[in-house]
Chain A
Amino acid sequence: MRAESERGWSSVPVNTPAIHRRALFAGAAATLVAPGIWSTPLPAAAQGTGGTVIDITRARTEPIPIAVPDMAGAGPDAQRMGQNIARVIVNNLRSSGLFRPIERAAFIQTPEAAAQAPRFQDWRVLGAVALTTGRVELSGDRLRVEFRLWDILPEQQALGTAYNATASNWRQIAHIISDDIYKRLLGEDGYFNTRVAYVSESGPRDRRTRRLAIMDQDGENHRFLTDGQFQALTPRFHPNATQIAFMSYLRNEPRVYLFNLQTGRQEVLGNFGGMTLSPRFSPDGRSVILSAIRGGDASIFVVDLASRRERQLTNAAGLDVSPCFSPDGQQIVFNSDRGGDQQLYVMDANGGGVRRISFGNGRYATPVWSPRGDLIAFTRIGRGQFAIGVMRPDGSGERILSEGWAMESPTFAPNGRVLMFYRETPARDARGAGFSARISSIDIAGFNERQVVTPNDATDPSWSPLLS
């Protein structure tokens, strides 16, 4: 989906007048990077595109100092849009914990002048390693954003891209640019142009309204998907982000449903004659794995979406829930109390070769496989505390990232670098006063935990794939 090579860079002097740039690149092919957003390459400043790539494979690094001035624009509307785009980018980079955007009050060169030609010494004295510049053109509802990323020490352009879209897509352009910066400076895909589906909760705890909701990863563009007439739980994104699998109490029959995000259509999945729960799509998007109650036990089934045929994968006594495929689709991790209490198990995709992987102190639940394949995130319950942690798929290398009174339901960003989960605070009294549930994000190295702003209490986050 990402066409990095087509968005590349070529070697043209930096201060080529804008009109020449356009002329030079009039024939450049535009690339569709997201629905309604086209990009074309902009000329680069100097030879080569080597420059800075910061290694973040270590557990934790100093955040990269970066200057993100407002984008320039002709006229107040374009200037305002240029400010807004820059602020979304700043917020994204700062929230990752891996960048340190420099305070705009310290800037020496004006955005307009920097967009013409950066005066590198003005940015170097601020300690910036990288600088972004940009220009916004608005005509009617058409938006064009020229964006450049500069390596300050070698004084080179590292990226240059022009985006064309309708003006209402400006946030998504800001997220795509943020991902461009992240990838260029950190050497791996970003996660800013993504959405999060979750359960919005309101009302007293014994009579809660639970609605599916969806928002950008930064909490903006918030929208409810269901009206609260029935309880909705555990939304999970399809790998192409066009639909969500979730659990619905429609007609008081708790079942797994599919929700089509394009049409709004909801349909029950499968006919198990009892409760179905904990759905997740396979990595190829062709099937859903879930748990169904049959007899006294909960067993894991996989349902082929084209034929709707179901296949039972587990058949042990006990509750098998929360299955999740490995990103290559070859294995499944799940939660089972077959051994007496809740632990994590891995099996082959056909149900064979079951082995327990969790052996630490406590009960383990809600396993999710990292999109990178290298880690499984989980909830651990023990000694009166809940914790979110990660371990390798063979169970080794367990690390706790966050711990508290109650937290669960981790979900990985598409690059595997960040988790969201939800955290609860306990009730202070018998009326339930003080209870709350909120979504947090945290780096998988265990730092930079941040609360995601939502209008109501929020649980069961599901992070979408990259949308560009």
Chain B
Amino acid sequence: MSTAKTLLSLMAATGLLVACSNTEQAAVTAGAGAGGAGQIRPGSQEDLVANVGDRVFFDTDRSTIRADQRTVLDRQAAWMQQNAAVQVTVEGHADERGTREYNLALGQRRANSARDVLVAGGVAPARIQTISYGKDRPEALGSNEDAWAQNRRAVTVVR
């Protein structure tokens, strides 16, 4: 988890990941980076990031799963069925263009939306926890539309 996150933020910082509202691109890019470090253990966070995609993105103030994001969650559900021992936390986040308290609730609703798709895809609810960080843990640190699009997200994290 921490490696993937560090990689992602490193790439964001160096401009490799500028307008990454496309999850496939994130997974592929991160996979290429993680691949250099050696084999990826199945069922690990690195596996999830490299081969499945660990996150989905949302429209401003919305917590419904976008049609273009749904496949990522379907793949996550299949991956969790393959890796039956894996337990995850879905972290919900918001961009900085809202108030702290509302964004905390919004991040929770986003995490719940993602969880509901995983559960509908056959994952036992007990394997999934959710938490919201609102606007308080941005992935992209800029103050612009691209950064906000990256930050309106639900990230699945292997526990």
Residues of A within 8 A of B (CB): 204-208, 210, 231, 233-234, 247, 252-254, 274-275, 277-278, 291, 293, 296-298, 319, 321-322, 335, 337, 341-342, 363, 365-366, 379, 381, 405-406, 408-409, 424, 426-432, 435, 459-460
Contacts and interface: CB of A to CB of B under 8 A. Distances in A.
A322 B102 CA distance: 8
B127 interface: no
Nearest 4 interchain pairs by C-beta: A432-B141, A426-B143, A365-B99, A298-B105
B46 to A, nearest CB: 19
Nearest to B14: A430
Contacts of B112: 293, 296
Nearest to B151: A206
B138 interface: yes
B13 interface: yes
B15 interface: yes
B136 A233 contact: yes
A233, A319, A342, A428: residue with the most chain B Cβ atoms closer than 10 Å: A319
A42 B142 CA distance: 60
B101 A321 contact: yes
B9 interface: yes
B74 interface: no
B132 A254 contact: yes
Contact of B100 (A296, A297, A342, A408): A408
Contacts of A319: 102, 105-106, 109
Given A207-B137, A274-B108, A321-B102, 13 more contacts: A208-B137, A210-B136, A275-B104, A275-B108, A319-B102, A321-B104, A322-B102, A337-B102, A409-B99, A427-B142, A430-B15, A430-B141, A432-B142
Nearest to A295: B112
Chain B, interface residues (CB within 8 Å), range? 20 to 34
Interface of B: 9, 12-13, 15, 18, 61, 96-102, 104-106, 108-109, 112-113, 131-132, 136-143, 147
A361 B69 CA distance: 31
A429 B142 contact: yes
Contact of A427 (B104, B109, B131, B141): B141
B101 A278 contact: yes
A207 B9 CA distance: 11
B12 A430 contact: yes
A300 to B, nearest CB: 11
Contacts of A296: 109, 112-113
17 contacts: A206-B139, A208-B137, A253-B131, A274-B108, A275-B108, A293-B105, A296-B113, A298-B108, A321-B104, A322-B102, A335-B101, A342-B99, A365-B98, A428-B143, A430-B13, A430-B18, A431-B141
B90 to A, nearest CB: 13
B97 A381 contact: yes
B143 A427 contact: yes
Contacts of B12: 430
Contacts of A366: 99, 101
Nearest to A429: B142
Nearest to B109: A296
Nearest to B107: A275
Contact of A234 (B9, B100, B141, B143): B100
B131 A277 contact: no
A108 to B, nearest CB: 52
Nearest to A424: B96
Scoring A231, A253, A278 by chain B CB atoms within 10 A of each residue's CB, the highest score goes to A278
A335 B143 CA distance: 25
A335 B102 contact: yes
A341 B61 contact: yes
Contacts of B141: 204-206, 427, 430-432, 435
Contacts of A205: 138, 141
Contacts of B131: 252-254, 275
Contacts of B139: 206
Contacts of B102: 319, 321-322, 335, 337, 342, 365
B147 A206 contact: no
Contacts of A231: 136
B109 A291 contact: no
Contacts of B13: 430-431
Contact of B101 (A208, A253, A274, A322): A322
Contacts of B140: 430
A381 B143 contact: no
Nearest to B140: A430
B68 to A, nearest CB: 22
Contacts of A429: 142
A335 B103 CA distance: 12
